[in-house]
Amino acid sequence: MHRTLQPGDIIGITWGTTLQAMIQQLQALPIPRVHVVQTLGGIGPPEAEAYAADLSRRLAQLLQASVTLLPAPGIVQRPEAKEILLSDRYVQAALALFPKLTIAYTGIGALTTNPIFYQKDEQLAQFYQELVQAGAVGDIAMRFYDAQGRPVHTSLDRHLIGITLEELKRIPRVVGIAGGTAKVEAIRGALRGGYVKVLITDHETAQQLLP
């Protein structure tokens, strides 16, 4: 990560266990005038290690950077709640930084292994079925796409608070961190969609991604 960062960078961070593992392996290295931005609301319980706010704080500490958190859940129960949260000035402060991001680090999720849908929740089960029927294979920051990298829109979108695929594509440098056989199709879709400019993965996954 240190080789890809430059003084003055505004860094977007999503969530995920692979991204978490990478940040845990980083050595502290201050970089001047760097700012870290949480780009997806909290996913899962606050005590979860892969909680987006926690990852953002950890990275900011390692870089001795300032940080802007996105103080909202990543998935809200009702669209009306989303509208209320979007009017909050602290949420607006984070969203206002999305167009200014110069680099983003993100996990890449496969629909079939996404831990969010492991929860026994009727609403989440409905979202999952909609995504399956729409042909979704993977996601970045809970924004889903199909095998060709085309965005997949379902009712879940009305419940999400975080960066969109369109906003992600405008970021000059997007580094995807993901690996494993179960994620090959999702990673390939992310590359085809142009959501990721640099991929960090394992040798076996890289071999499977080759034409």
Q: Where do runs of H (alpha helix) occur along 64-202?
A: 79-86, 89-95, 122-133, 165-169, 184-192
Inside any domain, residue 1: no
Amino acid at 199: L
Inside any domain, residue 197: yes
Q: What local confidence, expressed as pLDDT, does residue 54 receive? A: 87
144 phi and psi angles, rounded to 5 deg:
-95, 155
Chain segment 33-91, per-residue pLDDT in tens: 999 999 999 876 555 544 778 889 999 999 999 999 999 999 999 999 999 999 999 99
- Does this model's pTM top 0.85? yes
- CATH code for the domain in which residue 195 is found: 3.40.50.1360
Inside any domain, residue 5: no
37: phi > 0 → left, psi -120 to 50 → alpha, else beta; which? beta
Structural domain of 130 = 31-206
Total of domains in the chain: 1
